Structure 1
């Protein structure tokens, strides 16, 4: 039980190639399977931190695994979705570049002995992004002849076709949370810009 939070993080990393493979197959059932796997990975991401705190097993390794695993599985689904034409390249680049910027800021701050903690805006960003990606995968499932396209007489199709709105919200939260991190780190960045005497 004490290793469960770390195992959940490792599950997300190990399952990422399977997730990418499912998207690349580009069949209705593969899209549905990818959406379900992505949902499970997101649930595990929300659960492992709480479990670690509940079991009192928070560790530097656990924090590291938790930090990189969500970035890995999000990038792992974005890139194949570009490949099969489910998303424009600029959407994925916006999300991935934000992750690089925030990770770089945190590393820079840590080198200066300052911790930039995760903000609520940033945590919401991951949830909204995952919802948007699952929504897009379910729409692709329905559009390629999956059973969600015919269930309830096709009434789900108009709802699923609203995925661009959800994706726009995800992009708004992506950019907004990135700006929030930059704003928080701005005094540190200004000090770091000034050369130090050797």
Structure 2
């Protein structure tokens, strides 16, 4: 197994660790900054999430640079991305920190685009990541981090950036999904 695939698998194994710190009820204490109170468990979870999210680009870069692109990597990389984001979104809904509607929109789009990519693979084609898809990923990761940090530092100046970011993520997610389907409509069988 090459280095890129090991990094991808590490990202998958970090998901339950993040969920442990988010969902298991234990008191590690908390950090108070002004009016913002963040549990140390959430801080640990967000740090692990940032590490896991940053490996997404790293594994792909290593695979392409060293000509280590494999079928296993092509399968595991998007799976790892979706597991990471979907799991944390579901945890945020469970923690009552994110609207279930936003989580459903984001997760549904991921399933839909994954389905489109599977159809493309059956046709021997690849649906590459679009610019809007990359923006979608960036805003989703930003949203998750801000929510996990209880809207810090924006809460200190009374700006609901977590809510703004959540709805922006939902809108960009919808738009990027539509963009994928419009640009790849020739792949959709019409029978």
TM > 0.5 fold call: yes
Q: How does 1:20-169 map to 2 (within 5 A)?
A: 20-25=19-24, 28-139=39-150, 157-158=156-157, 161-169=160-168
**Between Structure 1 and Structure 2, which shows a larger proportion of helix residues?**
1
CA RMSD of aligned residues (A): 2.0
Gaps of 5+ in 1: 143-147, 149-154
Task: Give the CA deviation at 1:136.
Answer: 0.4
Cα separation, 1, equivalents of 2:77 and 2:69: 11
Contact 2:12 2:80 in 1 (8 A): yes
Write out the 4+ residue segments of structure 1 that deviate beyond 4 Å after TM superposition. Answer: none
Number of aligned pairs? 179
**What TM-score results when the alignment is normalised by the length of structure 2?**
0.86
Contact 1:22 1:30 in 2 (8 A): yes
**Between Structure 1 and Structure 2, which shows a larger proportion of strand residues?**
2
| Structure with max Cα Rg | 1
Gaps of 5+ in 2: 28-38
Cα separation, 2, equivalents of 1:90 and 1:34: 23
Identify which range, 128-137 or 108-117, moves more after superposition: 108-117
Aligned twin of 1:6:
5
Cα separation, 1, equivalents of 2:158 and 2:15: 28
Q: Deviations over 1:124-178 (max 9, x none)?
A: 21121011100000016x6xxxxx7xxxxxx862367421112222112211110
